[in-house]
Amino acid sequence: MIIAKHQLPSPLTGEGLGERVFLAATGTLTLTLSQRERELRSFKWASLARWLALVLALSPLAASALPRVASITPCADQYLLGLADPAQIVAVSTAATDPRQSLFVDEARRYPATRGSGEELIALRAEVVLTDRWMPLRVTERLERFGVKIIQIPLPETWDDIATATRSIAAELDRSAEGEARIAAMQTRLAQLAQQRPAPDTAPLAAYFLPGGASAGSGTFIDTVLKTAGVRNLAAELGWQGWGTFNLEQLTLTPPELLVMGFFDQGGDSVRMSFIRHPVFQRLMARVPVIHVPDRYWMCSGWFLTEAAAYIAERLPKTARRR
Amino acid sequence: MILLDAEQISVQLAGQRVVNGVSLQAAAGQLVALLGPNGAGKTTLLAALAGLRPFQGRVRIQGRALASLSRREKARTLAYLPQGQIAHWPLTVRRLVELGRLPHLAPWQPPAAADRLAVASVLHRTGIAELAERSFDTLSGGERARTLLARVLAVEAPLVLADEPVAALDPFHQLQVMELLRDYADGGAAVIVVLHDLTLAARFCDELILLREGALAARGAPATVLSAAQLADTYRIAALHGEQDGQYYVLPWKRQTPESAAL
Amino acid sequence: MSATAATESMIRQHRINLGLTALLVGLSVAGLLLGHVSLSPWQTLAQLFGGDERLAVIVLEIRLPRVALGLLVGASLGLSGAALQGLLRNPLAEPGILGVSASAGLGAVLALYFGLAQVSVWALPVCALLGALLATAFLALLALRDASPLSLILAGVAVSSLAIALTSLALNLAPNPLALSEMVLWLLGSLRDRGLSDVGLVVPFMALGWALLLSAGRELDALTLGEDTARSLGVGLGWLRIRVIGGAALTVGAATAVTGSIGFVGLIAPHLLRPWVGYQPSRVLLPSLLAGAALLAASDLAVRLIPTHQELMLGVVTALLGVPFFMHLLLRTRRTLP
């Protein structure tokens, strides 16, 4: 449930290989030369139109031709699918169609999936590649020689950082207006959530857990989301900076009032789950309210984290909510 | 009394017949030597008699078939001393010799007084009592040989099979070991020994069994078996012989090459 | 004279066992008292008499299973190392080096990540056991043909590498996408967050395994003089091999199923004790069990107390101790080889 999605312009279904010239004025006006061709009856006008297109393509305005972009990691997918014009997306990662990891599953199905290897990217004639995975210098250099630009998505930890990141990525995609729209939507949502938030002194003490007992302290986007949702973060209150792993003993001494769990959609058994399976933790789970946030809401850090915060805020125990 | 009766023993190793239809007997009080050139099958035969190699033929121990004896009965009746001086861990002499009492020990019981007595007696007889607490790897070759022999004697079995117990020993210790074996046989046991040394065999043993290429070449008293013809045939040597103190001795003297044989 | 010598060594043996047991008790107590939250002895006593409930939970439900499991696993590794060394007549033989632990880990991974563990809670230790059994049987077969220390170690390296590769492949194919990042847990072992149910899972297998291994003492002694002599002394070699291999597989399999593969304990413990018991295989078994338990308990204590951001893997500590030890052993054995 992403409110921002509904504000996206409806995508145009154009041909893939036809020559197109896009004039991105407000992001909503498009022209396809092939359509124009059909409307024009005279050959003369057709050739004039072609000549015009060529001039435009070669002119400085051509710099505004939207770059062909591919994303090769789940988080990059979200940014690409959320900001880019459908016509400029050449490929998304294989995780983009996984409902457990992606918020744009339906949109993602339209595009080819790539594993992100250099060959595939070059074959796709991608001009920009979005990723949040570290690439070795050799690979980036090689790709750049082929005219592919690698954009590393940062990991923003606060809403301001998210806004900055969104802006810069949107600029790379030549979709700054879209970026601003997303940011504006995010801020509207944040304002809504701020109103719903319980007073700081009644905010419940929550602890966020991954199956192995890992948790996030202050300075992480998890912490930001928890605070926005209106709960206190146990890890932050214990003084943690960044990510860490909880100790069952610590948990026994300072139990939280609310459990927020992540990454439990992955299914199957695993040795890492011994933390969760331990009787002490099981008893805690039986005693306090538990909120399982679907992974796709906060696997990555971006404007869509507002939905994670909203998800939690909606499910807070009634006593904590402000009327 | 015949303690060991072997009939038509044949042993195959890796598809080859190493021992071919050998029959022999050992009676109580007898020290029997198994002789033969290298590769004649002596070690294999001895191991087969001890039930350690599969064989064709019949072996009877104290009148009973070898196969019919339980593992424990066999261990108490027959003691085996292999070639080489193998001890994988450097145990003390006492502990090694105590291993010989294993066939007599009940599964979870510690050694009894009788066992300790047997060990002490055998340590004494073999003259290694003062080495009892030394570890095996600090011993000389002669001391090691005596330790392993003591282990065999500690079993107090009526039948002892020893494979080259005097190899790599100096003359003093060679004689000592042979004397120990002779004493043990004189006590009523049957002892079969694989030897290379013809002189020792002739002096100490009652009966010699000569093998050649896996088959029995001769059997009987030393003088008969170690005749000039037999030595030439089997060993390709000529030997001197004589008698001293009532003991027959043989001294390998000269190799027989084709030219010297013609002479 | 022989009587006193015998009783002397008996007394020494008892002293060694008692000393090790005392060490174990000390480490266990330390394990219960020390940890993330340090308790003083007074506080422990206080909670024993119905004090703070949280402390009771910490000590009894969090630390006690961990300490107990550490003792059981360490004991199993120490004992099976001593027994394998006796059977293979090789001081370098031990479940980690020979790849038995890695194979057990493979079995456990297959059970855990492919849903077998959901069928029955016993599927996990049984699969680990089968993995360990395959490796041990293969190595014993090899030792029959060529018992030189180096060839055995090489075979162990091969088995270990294969097991690790197959484990990695299995984790790659597992339906759980995070599985691959858990290789570390399987390769380096950990006692973290284990509960009493884990203890209950391993106890039956370990009890049987310990019985099989401890009963083999005398026959392992006989093997000192070689296989032929042992057989002539009445040892049933085939049955002995089955017992030692089976016992090692049971104990190492069960241990690996709950903690991942932990190496070198079975190497260090027997080796440290052998000189004290006159190198006799039967007399090294029980002390190795105790020393292995102590070694692992101490390593786990270190892991819990060393202030790293993420808790150290147990196998890291045992490897840091074990590898220099192993190199030293290897060099020494090579020098004494004919």
CATH architecture observed for domain B2-262: 3-Layer(aba) Sandwich (3.40)
List chain C residues with CB under 8 Å of B78. 232
- What local confidence, expressed as pLDDT, does residue C212 receive? 96
Residue A23 has pLDDT above 50, yes or no: no
Of the partner residues C5, C10, C274, the one whose CB lies closest to the CB of residue B94: C5
From first CA to last CA, the distance across chain C in angstroms is 36
Q: Which residues from A are below 8 Å from C304, CB to CB?
A: none
Q: Would A2 be classed as within a structural domain?
A: no
Q: Does C234 touch chain B (CB under 8 A)?
A: yes
Q: Do C37 and A245 touch (CB under 8 A)?
A: no
Chain C, residues 164-223, CB within 8 A of chain B, namely: 218, 221-223
> Which region, left, alpha or beta, applies to residue A279 given φ > 0 means left and ψ of -120 to 50 means alpha?
alpha
- In terms of Cα–Cα distance, which of C233, C226, C227, C224 is closest to B152? C233
**Element (H or E) spanning B57, and its range?**
strand B56-61
Residue A43's pLDDT is 57
Quick one: A28 and A85 in the same domain? Answer: no
Chain A residues touching chain C at CB-CB below 8 Å: 213, 244-245, 247-250, 252-253, 263, 266-272, 274-275, 277-280
Residue with the bigger pLDDT between C50 and C300: it is C300
Q: Residue A224: what residue type?
A: T
DSSP A132-161: SS---HHHHHHHHHTTPEEEEPP---SHHH
Q: Contacts of residue B123 in chain C, CB cutoff 8 Å?
A: 2
Residue A128 confidence (pLDDT) above 50: yes
Q: Is the pLDDT of residue A41 over 70?
A: no
Q: Measured between alpha carbons, how far apart are the two ends of chain B, in Å?
A: 46
Using DSSP, state whether B169 is helix, strand or coil. Answer: coil
**A214 SS3 class:** strand
pLDDT at C179 over 80: no
Question: Pick the residue with more confidence: A140 or B223?
Answer: B223
pLDDT of residue B248: 87
The boundaries of the domain holding residue A304 are 197-320
pLDDT at B256: 87
The residues near C297 (Cβ < 8 Å, ≥ 6 apart) are C24, C27, C28, C31, C67, C70, C71, C74
Residue B124 near residue B45 (C-beta atoms within 8 A): no
> Residue A13 domain-assigned?
no
Three-class SS state of A23: coil
The reply to whether C193 touches chain A by the CB within 8 Å rule is yes
pLDDT at position C256, please? Answer: 92
**Residues of chain B with C-beta less than 8 angstroms from the C-beta of C274:** 89
Helix (H), strand (E) at residue A259 = strand A258-261
**Alpha-carbon gap, residue B197 to B203, rounded angstroms:** 10
Determine contact, residues C36/A249, Cβ cutoff 8 Å.
Answer: yes
Mean pLDDT of A117-122: 83
**Residues contacting B191, CB < 8 A, separation 6+:** B26, B30, B31, B32, B159, B160, B161, B162, B181, B184, B185
Name the domain boundary from A28, A49, A64. Answer: A64
pLDDT of residue A264 exceeding 80, the answer is: no
Tell me the pLDDT of chain B (263 aa) as tens digits. 899 999 999 999 888 899 999 999 999 999 999 999 988 889 999 999 999 999 999 999 999 999 899 999 999 999 999 998 889 999 999 999 999 999 999 888 888 899 999 999 999 999 999 999 999 999 998 899 999 999 999 999 999 999 999 988 889 999 999 999 999 999 999 999 999 999 999 999 999 999 999 999 999 999 899 988 899 888 899 999 888 888 888 999 999 887 665 55
Residue A166 pLDDT more than 70? yes
Dig out the tokens for C181 from the structure.
Answer: 């990042």
Under a CB-based contact definition with an 8 Å cutoff, are residues A229 and A255 in contact?
no
Every domain of chain B and the residues it spans: 2-262
Q: Do C3 and B116 touch (CB under 8 A)?
A: yes
Confidence of residue A120 (pLDDT cuts 50, 70, 90): confident
C14-to-C7, C19, C174, C284 alpha-carbon distances in Å: 10, 8, 50, 12
Indicate whether A14 belongs to any domain: no
Give the residue from C14, C214, C232 with the most B CB atoms within 10 Å of its CB, the best one to mutate. C232
CB contacts, 8 Å: C178 with chain A: 263, 266, 270, 272
By mean pLDDT, which of A48-52, A303-307, C73-77, C111-115 is the weakest?
A: A48-52
**Interface membership of C278 toward B (CB under 8 Å):** yes
Same domain, A25 and A104: no
pLDDT category at A14 given cuts 50, 70, 90 is very low
C89, C232, C281 ranked by CB distance to B79: nearest:
C232
- If asked whether residues A269 and A316 sit together in one domain, one would say yes
Q: Which of A20, A3, A25, A323 is nearest to A174 (CA)?
A: A25
How much is the pLDDT for A197?
Answer: 83
By a Cβ cutoff of 8 Å, what residues of chain B touch chain C?
A: 47, 50-52, 71-72, 74-76, 78-82, 86-92, 94-96, 99-100, 102-103, 105, 107, 110-111, 113, 116, 119-120, 123, 132-133, 135, 148, 151, 155
C122-126: long-range pairs with CB below 8 Å, 24+: C122/C201, C124/C201, C124/C257, C124/C258, C125/C201, C125/C202, C125/C205, C125/C253, C125/C254, C125/C257, C125/C258
Partner residue facing A270 (CB), from C54, C62, C113? C113
Taking each helix axis from N to C terminus, what angle separates B141-154 and B171-186, rounded to the nearest 10 degrees? 10
The domains of chain C, with CATH numbers, are 2-336 (1.10.3470.10)
The domain boundary residue, chosen from A132, A150, A182: A182
Residue A250 to residue C37, Cβ atoms within 8 A: yes
Please report the pLDDT score of residue C313 as a whole number: 86
Beta strands, E only, chain C = none
Maximal C-alpha separation, chain A: 83
**Residue with more model confidence, B98 or C313:** B98
Say whether both A128 and A173 belong to one domain.
Answer: yes
Predicted pLDDT of residue B51: 93
Place of tokens 């080259």: B164
| Same-domain check for residues A276 and A250 | yes
Report which of A120, A126, A118 is spatially closest to residue A143, judged by C-alpha positions.
A118
Cβ within 8 Å, pair A244-C310: yes
CA–CA distances in Å: residue B2 to residues A91, B72, B191: 94, 21, 12
Q: How far is C93 from chain A (nearest CA, A)?
A: 28
What is the bridge-based pairing of β-strands A243-245 and A214-216?
A: antiparallel
- Sign of the C-alpha dihedral, residues A91, A94, A98, A100? negative
Do A220 and A167 lie in a common domain? no
- The predicted pLDDT at position B262 comes to 55
Report the amino acid identity of residue C135. Answer: A
Q: State whether A272 and C178 contact (CB < 8 Å).
A: yes
Closest CA–CA distance from residue B5 to any residue of chain C (Å): 18
Q: How confident is the model at residue A8 (pLDDT cuts 50, 70, 90)?
A: very low
Q: Closest-CA residue in chain C for B156?
A: C233
Of A47, C220, A147, C197, nearest in space to B99 by CA: C220
A228 pLDDT exceeds 60? Answer: yes
**pLDDT (average), residues C270-281:** 91
Instruction: Calculate helix-pair angle for C196-214, C123-145, nearest 10 degrees.
Output: 30
A46 and A115: one domain?
no
B abuts A (3+ Cβ pairs < 8 Å): no
- Mean pLDDT, rounded, for C155-183: 83
Determine the pLDDT at residue C20: 94
Picking from A182, A216, A251, the residue at the C-terminal end of a domain is A182
Question: Do A79 and A302 form a contact (C-beta atoms < 8 A)?
Answer: yes
Minimal CA separation from C29 to chain A, in Å? 17
In a domain, A298, yes or no: yes
Give the count of Cβ contacts less than 8 A between chain B and C: 90
Whether C231 and chain B come into contact, CB under 8 Å, resolves to: yes
Distance from the Cα of C152 to chain B's closest Cα (Å) equals: 16
Task: Specify the CATH number for the domain of residue A283.
Answer: 3.40.50.1980
Residues of C in contact with B119 (CB under 8 A): 2
C34: pLDDT strictly greater than 70: yes
Report pLDDT for C148.
Answer: 67
Residue A15 lies in a domain: no
pLDDT at A6 over 60: no
Write out pLDDT tens, residues A191-224: 998 888 878 788 899 999 887 788 999 999 999 9
Q: What percent of chain B has pLDDT over 70?
A: 98
**Cα–Cα distance for residue pair B24/B10, rounded to 1 Å:** 12
- A268 contacts on C by Cβ (under 8 Å): 113, 115, 174-176, 179
Q: Is the pLDDT of residue A18 over 80?
A: no
Indicate the pTM of the whole model: 0.82
Mutate to test the interface with C, among B102, B125, B138 (most CBs of C within 10 A): B102
Q: Is residue A5 part of a domain?
A: no
Candidate from A62-66, B115-119, C10-14 with smallest mean pLDDT: A62-66
Chain C neighbors of B102, CB-CB under 8 A: 218, 221-222, 233-235
Instruction: Say yes or no: A254 and A285 in one domain.
Output: yes
**Closest Cα in chain C to B120:** C2
- Judge contact between B2 and B26, C-beta under 8 A: yes
Residue pair C274/C286 in contact by the 8 Å Cβ criterion: no
* Chain C residues within an 8 Å CB radius of B87: 224-225
Q: What is the DSSP letter of B135?
A: B
Q: Which helix (H) or strand (E) holds B4?
A: strand B2-13
